[in-house]
Structure 1
Amino acid sequence: MFEAFEAASRKWPDNKCLGWREQDKKTGVWGPYLWMDYQTVQKRRTDFGAGLVHLHQSIGLTIDKYGIGIWSANRPEWQITDLAAMSQSLYTVSIYDTLGPSATEYIINHSELNCVVASLNHIPTLLSLKERLPTLKFIISMDPLEDGEPVGNTKKALLGAWAAKEGVQLHSIYDIELLGQQHPKPFAPPSPDDAITINYTSGTTGFPKGVLLTHMNAVCAASCAHLSPMYQMPGDFSLSYLPLAHIYARVTEHAQLWSGCAIGYWHGNILELTDDLKALRPNTFISVPRLYNRFNSAIKSLTIEQGGVKGALSRKAVDTKLANLKSCGSNKHGLYDRLWGNKVRTGIGFDRLRACVSGSAPIAPSVISFLRIVFSNNFIEGYGLTETYAVTLGQLAQDNSAGNVGPPTFAAECVLRDVPEMGYTSKDKPYPRGELLTRGPMVFKGYYKAPDKTAEVLDADGWFATGDICKVDELGRFSIIDRVKNLLKLAQGEYVSPERVENAYLGSMNIFQQAYVHGDSFQPFLVAVMGVDRENFSTFAGKVLKKTIAPLDTEAVTAACGDIVVRKAVLREMDKVIKKNKMTGFERVRNVHLCLDPFTIENDLLTPTLKLKRPPAAKAFKEQIDSLYQEALAEEPKKSKL
């Protein structure tokens, strides 16, 4: 990827490259995008890369390949750091901006980082962790440390004193760029097999795994992006807001910088994302179902759900375009695009949007169909993992089908492996089903310092076992239908281990005997079916309802299970368990169905060894689960704005 950026910088030196917006401190209004061109970014990258090497040499580091940590939200300095590392055959280790101290500590220690480049807000956390970070020698601030503040009270003076006490050097990025100018270094171009990043996955069981990815992986993935409907052209604009610590966003920016595009970074407030979009007017856009669902709801609220002429025109336009999409596969309409669609797109900032992609989790077919006829462009769904640099499967241009993620990308080989214990085989009708295995130059090198974990998913022939169950249709299009492992993927792309959540509740709340936690890839939260313990639940419910409930009175216990006051009291106790166990917000159960003995061997929801049969349990309680989601969603305020 070093050569790719160099080529783009030579070819389009004056093109806009990295952009940001500044806020008026008096009015709070965000201004227009300001830009660095390619030659400016190239120069800053060169100086920063040389400065990083000189800094590490100053402490006697003799190895020529090591990691540079990055901990910040998306901003130009994030990308400059990544490019600087590439220029000297270094690799970056990204830390999610929202990550807590314990996971941050683990990543820094596991990857043995000497240096972390961070935004100012994370520096106090790094300093407070320093005594448990033996390898950390340098903290580099992306923000100025002296900015018109009184002498002795600058950030550099205050934080610098703390840093000195902890035995760590504190610098600004501008200090290190100047150091690089004073001590220039020739480029040390990476080889294809050199690491470009160790990307830590957001695991839910234990600490995250470090996925070791190479320049070969990155170039392959960016090439796949070039040959997809998401191709980039010189001078295109694109908004960067999905976390760059996620490989999905990272590969997108690789492709954009290779193509001479302009990347504008958001100002950090998801509720004001359309303000950034209207200021930038991107040509391409990547996102996840959670945001597209918000677009879907907001657009409908402002168009087809309106009264009068506006609502009537909107409904006619949508009905006509959806009918055309179904009958002839076209999402364009000469009249209604001009009268209706163009206005909707302009209101979002999508008036010149050529293509967009949804990834990270499944998107509901009804949502993608509606947005296709609104945006009137190439709207595709794709599939990939961190281990495949986000690139494995992707819909083709003009394929307006829904409910699939397309065929393999040009670099990927894909096969299905039978999983008979789950009832999936290549001989299934009407379509073959099984676990998706893939191989190709985009597949990762292995898990960092974890050969045993690598061997579990990567065989000697290079096949990577994704853990996802797929079916493939007669046109070679894959659909993700299940998981081999009991990991759930929510609408925002987060993985949840239901057994971990279940065990937390069962281990902390004596009112429960059984637990089934359910996650839907089209919903952003969990619900649960919980089997209550007669004795303890009766006591609990009796206190809530201020009456006596006899444990053997099945009718009274069942009535208490369905009482909304009792259920809400149970949910409050369940929330306490999440906090007590320091679990994440997406592991929280938002609604619960309570009952006596929901899972038994007799009703075929338990195995003879008393293990829960998850797919049958989901099927048996489908009506209750659907009701739980409807009830929880109805309690959320309806949003007509993004």
Structure 2
Amino acid sequence: MSLSEFVKVTSPDLVGPKSVFPADSPIPTMFDIVRVEAGKGNPQALPIPGSQEKGYSPIYRNAASLDGPIERLHPAIGTMYDAFENTVRNFTDSKCLGHREYMPQYKKWSHYIWETYGQVAERRTDFGSGLVKLARDVVGMADPQKFPVAIYSPNRPEWVITDLACHAYNLYGVTLYDSLGPESSEFIMNVTESPILVASLSNIPTILAIKNKIPHLKVIICMDELESNHDAPGSTKRQLLQSWTKLHGLHLYSFSEVEQIGRDALIPHNPATPSDLITVNFTSGTTALPKGVALTHANAVAAVSGLAMHIKLDNQKAAMRSLSYLPLAHIYERLSLCLALTFGSAYAFFHGVITEVLEDIQEVRPVFFSSVPRLLNRIEEGIRAKTISAPGLPGAISRRAVSAKLQDLENGGFGRIKFWDTIWSRKVRKNIGLDDLEVVVSGSAPIAISTHKFLKAALARPVLQGYGLTESFAFGLIGQFGDPSTGHCGPPTVSTELRLKDVPEMNYFSTDKPYARGELQLKGPMIFKGYLKDPQKTAEAFDGEWFSTGDVAMIDDLGRVAIIDRVKNFFKLAQGEYVSPEPIENYYLAGCDQISQSFVTGDSVQNFIVGIFGINPETFAPFASKVLKRPISPTDLHQLAEAGNDKAVRLALMKEIDRIGIQAKLKGFERVRNFVLKVEPFTIENDLLTPTMKTKRPQAVKYYSRDIENMYAEGELLPAPKAKL
């Protein structure tokens, strides 16, 4: 039976949803789309006349979709199943999924090993058929469809093949973070009642340790082989695990065994429809247990369609390539995956060591690069160290190039000067593996303005800042091509509309001048339907048809949005002053080159706030060296930590911190008066960052309670200014 006999396009003649291309036109490729681009000085989003209500701003839509949000690119592509099938037809023999394998005999990682779209499609059908057969014969389901399949592993090809199998057989994925602890894993497995878990070998013991608390789990599928020629007799992985799984009444299979089960009894596809779930994606949770966000295929298609219209690529000679290193369990990377599979991108997985991700970048040479500020900060540090901080002629040339390019940005240009782009930026990109780069998208957290400008200048490529949430399938706002400015997330996308709601308790109003401010609310086809089995939290999240994001935003006269605060994320000082920490942190992070992480906090019995700052090694080392009059190496962590504790260094940096606070026009009680410096205070490993690099505030306050107590005991580093008579 040929693969084509399994394919069923779910919505070939559907004309109801708003699409970009008509039903009688060919399904577009990435190069057929007309990119949404900002004209200089032209509005990027506009208020809809007559849409304003009391307590709210007008409704804003992208200037390219004023008559309503885009739901899909083409009527025939209504699900991610449709999208992938179309890609398989057009790119059967093109690279699809790539991974690297460790070669112990050489003690290094291999070059990328690729599977084509045709091969991945075939494995998807084999594995999906095996899943359905196990659900019927082992779990005991009479009609195995629309049930959840839990996925628990780092990014790898089997993760994606499992996801694609769910699309083809009307199942949906439930994603567990590879970094989750037992408590969250137990909660997710129970709230979803997943009967089948597909996991990497290293994560199976975590699940087995809590199996008595997750009664719905019946089958575990190991992504890794359970037997090999190197195993000692009687001690294969299968034998070691089976004694444990049998004890819990579980059935254990390897991934390849399930593929073979399916291959022996192929089952025709039963694809999802647009309204069917594609995933229950759990928020990473900064304060409590995660919430299960129920997302449909229609949500995914709307997000991909909108993103494609904003980042459309120009160079048809460079095959689209992207690198997967952000966790696939998070919606941001899930959107990147959906985009890649919709448009035939070669999608490569990093080899699992995040500190060595630049090595993977050099191997893959991505064309489209989605990232987060934390990694972009490290890329910036690396470029600076090898260019403007380099000795001799190379350093002098680099400083001149960067100075000219930054000046061009200040003058309203794009930071691109043909001469410097040719002799300098091109070499910079090539040295870090980004010579084919067309666009960078940054998300999950604000990027420092100084970093944003530097990367635009150094790479001579668009660096777009976006905004989205799990509830909006990672997409809602994005900076537009043609706009060289920084400090905002761009306008609403073509698949989104927004408005701002007054937050009187924090003094944010839609009537504020010069720009409206308030809680950002979103509406559109990519917005989720609700939290799984939690009607109360679902009701709290919606204001009528509008999803309330919890973020405070400001919208300027061109329709561009900046996130400036977080609703209810404030604390009170001793004299009753309320402090919103996030804008303050962003001011210090953007203004002080010596720090790479910023966290401020206060106490209701104290009258000033304190900070915990992460050191930026490349810039802090020369700063401390100058203060201490001895060399401090940016690679010596002990030296950096020692210098960070030195009172003279802290006093010198306090003057810089205070200058930034005054320049930002922060009120006296909003300015940090004492701080501690750490080499890397907030990480996923110490459980103070979510997988998307957001600080877990309550946990951070508890973790650094001793430092906070000591700072308040020490008092203000700088004497308070004397009052003028």
Q: Same fold (TM over 0.5)?
A: yes
One-letter amino acid matched to 1:3: D
Q: Give 2:419's aligned residue.
A: 335
Q: How does 1:447-462 map to 2 (within 5 A)?
A: 447-460=531-544, 462=545
The SS at the match of 1:260 is coil
1:614 aligned partner: none
Distance apart, 1:188 and its partner CA: 0.8
In the TM superposition, what whole-angstrom CA distance separates every residue of 1:153-192 from its partner, at most 9, and x where no partner exists?
1111111121111110111111111111122111111111
CA displacement 1:365-421 (0-9 Å, x = unmatched): 111010001111121000000000011011111211100000000011101111122
Structure 2 partner of 1:218: 300
* Residue in structure 2 matched with residue 324 of structure 1 by the alignment: 408
Q: How does 1:109-120 map to 2 (within 5 A)?
A: 109-120=190-201
> Normalising by structure 1, what TM-score?
0.79
The match for 2:254 is 172
The change in CA–CA distance for 1:27 and 1:43 in structure 2 (over 3 A counts) is: same
Q: Note the C-alpha offset of 1:584.
A: 5.6
Give the match for residue 284 of structure 1: 368
SS at match of 1:264: strand
Change (3 A) 1:439 1:517: closer
Aligned pair partner of 2:555 in 469, 472, 497: 472
Q: For residues 427 and 326 of structure 2, what CA distance do their matches in structure 1 show?
A: 26
In structure 1, the gaps of 5 or more residues are 488-497, 503-513, 534-561, 599-620, 626-642
Deviations 1:243-271 (A, max 9, x none): 00110100111011110110010001111
Q: Match of 1:630?
A: none
Q: Does the residue aligned with 2:357 lie in a helix, a strand or coil?
A: helix
Matched, 1:121 2:202: yes
Name the structure 1 match of 2:82: 3
Match of 1:526 among 577, 599, 618: 599
Residue 412 of structure 1 corresponds to: 496
Indicate conservation of the 8 Å contact 1:146/1:156, yes or no: yes
Structure 2: tracts of 5 or more residues without a match:
1-79, 590-595, 607-672, 689-695, 721-725
8 A Cα contact 2:221 2:254, kept in partner: yes
Deviation at 1:515, TM superposition (A): 12
Shift of residue 622, structure 1, vs aligned partner: 12
Asked if structure 1 preserves the Cα contact closer than 8 Å seen for 2:675 and 2:711, the reply is: no
The corresponding residue for 1:20 is 99
The structure richer in helix per residue is 1
Aligned partner of 1:602 in structure 2 is none
Q: State which drifts further: 362-371 or 421-430.
A: 421-430
Counterpart residue type for residue 34 of structure 1 = I
- In the alignment, the residues of structure 2 paired with residue 587 and residue 345 of structure 1 have an alpha-carbon distance, to the nearest angstrom, of 42
SS at match of 1:594: helix
Name the structure 2 match of 1:378.
462
Mapping of residues 270-309 of structure 1, within 5 Å = 270-309=354-393
Greater relative CO, 1 or 2 (CA 8 Å, sep 6+): 2
Q: Does the CA contact (< 8 Å) of 2:565 and 2:580 recur in 1?
A: no
Aligned pair in 2 of structure 1 residues 331, 47: CA closer, same or farther (>3 Å)? same
Quote the Cα distance in structure 2 between the aligned partners of 1:44 and 1:321: 48
Q: 1:89-134: per-residue Cα shift (whole Å, max 9, x none)?
A: 1000000011111111111011101111001101111111111110
Q: 2-side partners of 1:577 and 1:237: how far apart?
A: 32
Tell me which moved more, 516-525 or 296-305.
516-525
Q: CA deviation at 1:470?
A: 0.8
Q: Which residue of 1 aligns with 2:565?
A: 482
Name the structure 1 match of 2:509.
Answer: 425
Q: Is the 8 A contact 1:515 1:528 kept in 2?
A: no
Q: Find the aligned partners of 2:565 and 2:470 in 1 and give their Cα distance.
A: 18
Tell me how far apart the structure 2 counterparts of residues 583 and 469 of structure 1 sit (CA, whole Å). 20
RMSD value, Cα: 3.1
Tell me the distance in 2 between the aligned counterparts of 1:31 and 1:155: 24
Give the 3-state SS of the residue equivalent to 1:199 in structure 2.
Answer: strand
Contact 1:105/1:129 (8 A) holds in 2: yes
Write the deviation string for residues 405-452 of structure 1: whole angstroms up to 9, x where unpaired: 000000111011111221111111111111111101000010000011
Residues 470-519 of structure 1: CA deviation (Å, up to 9, x unaligned): 111111000001111328xxxxxxxxxx89xx9xxxxxxxxxxx999956
**What percent of counterpart residues are identical?**
44
Change (3 A) 1:400 1:186: same
- Asked if the contact 2:531/2:538 (under 8 Å) is kept, the reply is yes
> Per the alignment, in what secondary structure is the counterpart of residue 228 of structure 1?
helix
2:452 aligned residue (368, 378, 385):
368
* 1:584–1:61 distance in 2 versus 1, CA, 3 Å: farther
Q: 1:433 to 1:527 in 2, by over 3 A?
A: closer
Task: Report the 3-state secondary structure (helix = DSSP H, G, I; strand = E; otherwise coil) of the residue aligned with 2:411.
Answer: helix
1:448-468 Cα shifts (integer Å, max 9, x gaps): 0001110111234x2101111
Match of 2:228 in 1: 147
- The aligned amino acid for 1:146 is E
State how far apart, in whole Å, the 1-side matches of 2:131 and 2:701 are. Answer: 37
State the distance in 2 between where 1:268 and 1:586 align. 30
Task: Find out whether 1:35 has 2:119 as its counterpart.
Answer: no
Would you say the 8 A contact 1:526–1:587 is kept in 2?
Answer: no
After superposition, the C-alpha distances for 1:187-245 in whole angstroms (9 at most, x for unaligned) are: 11111110000011111333111000000000001111211126597931110000001
Q: 1:588 maps to which residue? A: 703
State the match for 1:315 in structure 2: 399
Please tell me whether residue 446 in structure 1 is matched to residue 510 in structure 2: no
Aligned to 1:105: 186
Change (3 A) 1:318 1:156: same
Secondary structure of the corresponding residue to residue 186 of structure 1:
coil
Paired with 2:600 and 2:273, the residues of 1 have a C-alpha distance of 48
| Cα distance, 1:564–1:314 mapped onto 2, change above 3 Å | closer
Match of 1:237 in 2: 321
C-alpha displacement at 1:327, in angstroms? Answer: 1.7
Label 1:584 to 1:422 Cα distance change in 2 as closer, same or farther (>3 A). Answer: closer
Cα distance change, pair 394–26 in 1 and its aligned pair in 2 (3 A): same
1:62 CA displacement: 2.9
Equivalent residues in 2 for 1:179-218, closer than 5 Å: 179-218=261-300
| Residues 109, 133 of structure 1: 8 Å contact kept | yes
1:334 CA displacement: 2.0
